[in-house]
Amino acid sequence: MKHITIVVPAGKGTLSTVTCIASTFEVFATANSYWKQREGKELFRIESAGALEQTEVYDGVFTLKPQVNISAIGKTNLIIIPPVAYTDQKFKQENNLLVDWIIQQYRKGAQVASLCSGAFMLASSGLLNGKNCSTHWANAGALKAMFPEVNVQADHLITDEDGIYTNGGAYSFLNLLIYLVEKYYNRQTAIYCSKMCQIELDRNSQSPFTIFTGQKLHGDEMVKAAQAYIESRLDEKVSFEHLSSRFSVGRRNFDRRFIKATGNTPGEYAQRVKIESAKKSLETTRKTVNEVMYEVGYSDVKAFREVFRKLTGMSPLEYRARYNKEASLQAV
């Protein structure tokens, strides 16, 4: 029988830590039950493990007690890392033993999956260096700043690379669990779990849920000023040649600094702030798509729709239908 280890981090946990651990048990128990009915035996033994006897969560409202200590597990097949309180200064020190154990198990052939902010623990192991990684879109900037060698993909719901899996944020961890069920069991078992647990199947992007707040977690004051300039001129087509000259910086150097600080080219950044403004209008007003388009500086409907779909995964009309029921029947 194969083995799944759900790790229980040391230190302060979050409510999401409890939710993800409990839900992981439930989804894989459902998969095991279905597999046993068809194959006569369970495929996995599911076990929680940690380096301490217990972890307090949410100021002691919950207490998590691992079933076993990690020292008792010589080999496992799949490690699940739940969300962690990565802002806690003591977190890394308190979890050194657990992180070292994860590295050792990966080297022995185990695969590793992180849920939401569990990516911070996984990144601290170095196993994500040079690899793609997803996390909650709201945590992406902090993850990039703390672990610059990790290729953070904030729009991805799931990444799968060299036996390492990561997912986006909040309850999208359920989609990664279904993905893992299909990978380790089969498609039919994943469909069954999807129906029993009522989890959407084959969802692969968190883009529709992203709120772009601008990447400001950097220390380049020139770039911050450029960002403010772009954000204040949503209805204009900003000339980046002109903008770089305002700061007495050559265009190539301007682009280089902007990309280093934000992860986007100036053009990409302008697109994202324009589309974020358009999303808010589509959510809260009865304006037509054309009116919204003109407000954010686009005059070509086709170009606007292409950029909107690229950044949200859906058309402007589809977006409005999902988030603004009152306006969804209006003509474009």
Query: pLDDT: is 208 or 93 the higher one?
Result: 93
Q: Average the pLDDT over 220-229 and give the result.
A: 92
Query: pLDDT: is 92 or 319 the higher one?
Result: 319
Please give the pLDDT value at position 52: 83
Please give the pLDDT value at position 106: 97
Please give the pLDDT value at position 91: 73
Beta bridge partners of 152: 133
Please give the pLDDT value at position 212: 73
Task: Tell me whether strands 62-64 and 55-57 are parallel, antiparallel or unpaired.
Answer: antiparallel
**What digits encode the pLDDT tens for the residues 96-147?**
999 999 999 999 999 999 999 999 999 999 999 999 999 998 888 889 889 9
pLDDT confidence tier of residue 225, bands split at 50, 70 and 90: very high
Q: Residue 262: pLDDT above 50?
A: yes
Q: Residue 197: pLDDT above 60?
A: yes
Sheet strands side by side (includes 158-161): 68-69, 44-50, 2-7, 78-81, 111-114, 164-167, 158-161
Closest to 27 measured CA to CA, from 187, 196, 169: 196
pTM > 0.85: yes or no: no
Q: Residue 167: pLDDT above 70?
A: yes
Closest to 279 measured CA to CA, from 316, 233, 234, 230: 316
Give residue limits of the domains in the chain: 2-209, 221-323
Spell out the SS3 assignment of the chain: CEEEEEECCCCCECHHHHHHHHHHHHHHHHHHHHHHHHHCCCCEEEEEEECCCCEEECCCCEEECCCEEHHHCCCCCEEEECCCCCCCCCHHHHCHHHHHHHHHHHHCCCEEEECCCHHHHHHHCCCCCCCEECCCHHHHHHHHHHCCCCEECCCECEEEECCEEEECCHHHHHHHHHHHHHHHCCHHHHHHHHHHHCCCCCCCECHHHCCCCCCCCCCCHHHHHHHHHHHCCCCCCCCHHHHHHHCCCCHHHHHHHHHHHHCCCHHHHHHHHHHHHHHHHHHHCCCCHHHHHHHCCCCCHHHHHHHHHHHHCCCHHHHHHHHCCCCCCCCC
Q: Residue 245: pLDDT above 90?
A: yes
Q: Which residues contact 258 (CB under 8 A, 6 or more apart)?
A: 223, 226, 264, 265, 266, 269
Q: Average the pLDDT over 270-279 and give the result.
A: 92
Closest to 265 measured CA to CA, from 208, 226, 315, 209: 226
**What digits encode the pLDDT tens for the residues 19-53?**
999 999 999 999 999 999 999 999 999 999 999 88
Distance in angstroms (rounded) separating the CA atoms of residues 135 and 118? 8
Q: Residue 66: pLDDT above 50?
A: yes
CATH 3.40.50.720 fits 221-323, yes or no: no
10 Å Cβ neighbour count for 287? Answer: 17
Please give the pLDDT value at position 331: 44
Please give the pLDDT value at position 210: 64
Distance in angstroms (rounded) separating the CA atoms of residues 22 and 45? 15
Please give the pLDDT value at position 100: 96
pLDDT confidence tier of residue 82, bands split at 50, 70 and 90: very high
Please give the pLDDT value at position 205: 63
Spell out the SS3 assignment of 225-282: HHHHHHHCCCCCCCCHHHHHHHCCCCHHHHHHHHHHHHCCCHHHHHHHHHHHHHHHHH
Q: Residue 332: pLDDT above 60?
A: no
The CATH superfamily label for domain 2-209 reads Class I glutamine amidotransferase (GATase) domain (3.40.50.880)
Beta bridge partners of 151: 132
Q: Average the pLDDT over 163-173 and give the result.
A: 90
Q: Residue 56: pLDDT above 80?
A: no
